[in-house]
Amino acid sequence: MLHCADEPRQVAYRNFNLCPHCEQRGEDPLLLRMSECIPMISRSDGKNFHLLLADRPVPFPAERREGPSREFSVCFWYCLGEQKKETKSSLVLVPAESKGHGDLYREIESIADLLVKKLLERKKLAVLYNLQGNSLRELGY
């Protein structure tokens, strides 16, 4: 299980529905997701970026018919800088160790913090990552 990642210092807002980043840019601040029946997991510095969990965790690969999956995928959407309405996606593959919903969403909270750290360091995110211990490894696709 992923242990709590150090929270990036630049994150001033966590788990919001109305985005201060979008509001400051004069855009509609309401964050919409593919699935509204999951906890809101979002991050922002209020000025330069936002990142949010876009959908519920999905078994990976979804087509697998032979018993339970060994991984699940978690999709995040993010927007960085002044690009008007340019939202990008980043997918993280997570080992499917037996977890209850509470543990799973705490782990996703930590993944969000790891993604923000990468976003602030690199000014972009890869399309696909694999969670390995307490870090994210970029995967080619």
| pLDDT tens digit sequence for 61-118 | 777 566 667 889 999 999 888 666 688 999 999 998 756 556 888 999 999 999 999 9
Q: Residue 121: pLDDT above 90?
A: yes
Strand partners, 30: 18
**Residue 50 and residue 58: Cα distance in Å, rounded?**
22
Q: What is the CA radius of gyration of the chain?
A: 15
Q: Where are the domains of the chain?
A: 13-138
In terms of DSSP bridges, do strands 42-44 and 49-53 run parallel, antiparallel, or are they unpaired? antiparallel
pLDDT-derived band of residue 7, with 50, 70 and 90 as boundaries? very low
Mean pLDDT of the region 27-51: 83
pLDDT the model gives residue 33 = 77
Q: Which of 90, 77, 70, 81 is nearest to 40 (CA)?
A: 77
pLDDT the model gives residue 84 = 60
What is this structure's pTM?
0.83
Rounded to the nearest integer, the mean pLDDT of the chain is 82
pLDDT the model gives residue 112 = 96
